[in-house]
Amino acid sequence: MAIGEHGEEITISMEEAMAKVRYSRNWMLETYVDFYQSKPLLYNALTQTEQQELADYRASLLNWPETLQEIYGDTPPNSYAKYQPQQPSFMVNHPKGRMFPDPPYSG
């Protein structure tokens, strides 16, 4: 039985927890990154800096499961939203807006 960062008992397995992380990551890739990358006119309207920020955000999302495992170790992550990669500021113009406008954990 694992104990979470707030002293709570964690009943989910590491496999189940990481599956949830990957599901969240894939949703963010599809909803936010693909929104820009799959629309050439929209993507090309981004500045070079914004295109690089989008590429960096995509890479951070792809690495997010490994980052969480480094943070949590053998404890299944159950409170990981605060560790989500920071979305580029231009995503304020995305139809869904930015998910977490405050700066994330920077460890």
CA distance 39 to 86: 22
- In the predicted model, what is the mean pLDDT of residues 61-86? 86
pLDDT of residue 4 exceeding 80, the answer is no
Quick one: pLDDT at residue 90?
A: 93
pLDDT of residue 101 exceeding 70, the answer is no
Residue type, 29: L
**Who has greater pLDDT, 26 or 75?**
26
> What pLDDT, in 10s, does the model give residues 22-41?
999 999 999 999 999 999 99
> What is the reported pTM?
0.83
Instruction: For the chain, give every domain's residue range.
Output: 19-93
Cβ neighbours of residue 13 closer than 8 Å, sequence gap 6 or more: 76
